Amino acid sequence: GQSLEQPSEVTAVEGAIVQINCTYQTSGFYGLSWYQQHDGGAPTFLSYNALDGLEETGRFSSFLSRSDSYGYLLLQELQMKDSASYFCAVLSGGSYIPTFGRGTSLIVHP
């Protein structure tokens, strides 16, 4: 089976940097995705890592270490609007269908 672990909640101050970790166990791993969801709204895709290393997209970066079965989402220059839930999701097996973690609630304080 597959399992993903991520913290349930992270808090940070506006303007700071925060890292949301995700560890996974799966067979036939292809890659790791990240999604953002505001207040029960539609989840939106943020990033995808198939290879080791850091991918940067504006204020958000995502990292993957395949050997450690570990990844993280890095959010810089935090803004209040970044308060949301963040989900990691693994692609594995033959179907390329994401299996989601339980999500991390990020709370950004002024």
The residues that touch another protein, with contacts defined as CB under 8 A, are: 8, 31-33, 40-45, 48, 50, 87, 89, 91, 95-103
**Which one, 25 or 44, has the nearer CB to another protein?**
44
**Which one, 72 or 87, has the nearer CB to another protein?**
87
Please report, for residues 26, 35, 69, 83, 104, the alpha-carbon distance to residue 4 in angstroms, rounded to integers and kept in the order given: 9, 14, 10, 22, 12
The residues, any chain, with a CB within 8 Å of residue 19's CB and separated by 6 or more, are 72, 73, 74, 75
**Which one, 42 or 81, has the nearer CB to another protein?**
42
Rounded to a whole number of angstroms, the minimum distance from the CB of residue 86 to another protein is 11
